[in-house]
A = this chain, B = another copy of it.
Amino acid sequence: MLVKVINPNTSAQMTEVIGRAARAVAGPGTEVRAVTAPMGPASVESHYDEALSVPGVLASLGDADGYVIACFGDPGLDAARELADGPVVGIAEAAMRAAAYLGRGFSVVTTVARARGRTWDLAAHYGVRRSCLGVHACEVPVLEIAAEPVLATCRKALESDEPDAIVLGCAGMAHLTASLSAELGVPVVDGVQAATLAVESLLRMGLRTGARGEFAAPPAKPYAGLLADFGS
């Protein structure tokens, strides 16, 4: 089975990191293909960036059995579920749901402070707002993530929230998961891995998005201007 892991930003180097993380946990029969969005922002650090990463996500769907949207804001998730021919999972929902199996609550460690609001919105939307004990920013831009400030922020989160687990709030932190967990002595959840395994699990059960109502294929219609090719 083929799982396509979509990097919603256009930085190929982050796609590399994401693909490696996904492959590290995928099962023997699962092929992971990591792709870079063909259009949009170099990184997602605002509502603006996130909204404009969606066309690139949607353009990346197809030619696989299931899909991961590998940005912690889960951009375009509902639209992708309508469009895709297989299950679609966002890394924020997968990370939060995986963390829910590990105890009462988790803390999210994210990049920039202005991203915290979106995380709270998603936690509410996915029904885990009570399990989300805190969202902490290390104030490092997405493309400059490094081990040290993330570790320091994790420690701060452990002290203030007393969580059972840490959730990494950016796909670009995926390569730090194992070392953080070893250093901190608590479970650390990376959404890229959690989402890849969620898609693989759904495929093994033969499950995909229900397609009889809200998530049926979108009605065909003309699109205009720059986005004309998205129409049908």
Contact = CB atoms under 8 A, between A and B. Distances in A.
A186 B212 contact: yes
Contacts of A202: 98, 101-102
Contact of A190 (B49, B83, B205): B205
A226 to B, nearest CB: 4
A104 interface: yes
Interface residues of A, number: 97
Given A27-B27, A52-B58, A205-B193, A210 B230 contact: no
14 contacts: A25-B205, A39-B226, A42-B221, A42-B222, A47-B214, A48-B79, A51-B79, A52-B58, A56-B227, A87-B102, A101-B207, A103-B214, A164-B214, A197-B204
Interface of A: 10, 25, 27-29, 37-43, 45-52, 54-56, 58, 76, 78-79, 81-83, 87, 89, 93, 97-98, 100-104, 113-114, 116-118, 121, 124-131, 141, 162-165, 178, 181, 185-187, 189-190, 193-194, 197-198, 200-202, 204-210, 212-216, 218-219, 221-228, 230-231
